[in-house]
Amino acid sequence: MDTPSLVMSKDINSYFENLLKKINGLYIIQITDRDGAPVMRVSQDKNVDFTLTSSFISTFTTASDQAGKLGLGRNKTIISMYSNYQVVQMNKLPLILTFVGSENFFVHIFNRKSLTIGATRSGVTRCK
């Protein structure tokens, strides 16, 4: 019998694997701690391991901390666009979520039919 934490881990891994399949152009989803130590990773067969080194992840942490000093509040996300890839890194301390995709994958997220944006008094919300 699986322990509750193992079952939860399988559920989380399954969730991210399904997300990887649903978003066209998404190659890798990785969760790390703030120093870049991997916690979980799902990927397609693409060679984009440069983004998954601990130095790349810790650089995000430093950049995010510096961006927070601009007086605009805490930085939550950094999007980096390269010639062949886009990297979206989200600050969900104590974890960092990293999404690596094709040069157009961010566009695909917004073009999905299931994603519509609705305005409410409290801000913008995601509706299905």
Render pLDDT for 72-118 as a digit per residue (tens, 0 to 9).
Answer: 888 888 888 888 888 888 888 888 888 888 887 766 665 554 444 44
The fold of the 4-103 domain, in CATH, is Beta-Lactamase (3.30.450)
Note the pLDDT of residue 32. Answer: 87
Radius of gyration of the chain from its Cα atoms, rounded to whole angstroms: 16
* pLDDT tens track for 31-47: 888 788 888 888 886 66
Note the pLDDT of residue 108. Answer: 61
Note the pLDDT of residue 79. Answer: 84
Contacts 24+ apart (CB under 8 A), 11-14: 12/40, 13/40, 13/42
**Could you write out the DSSP letters of every residue in 95-118?**
EEEEEEEETTHHHHHHH-TT-EEE
Quickly tell me which residue has 């944006």 as its tokens.
117
Q: What is the mean pLDDT of the chain?
A: 75
CB 91 within 8 A of CB 76: yes
Cβ-based neighbours of 17, under 8 Å, separated by 6 or more: 42
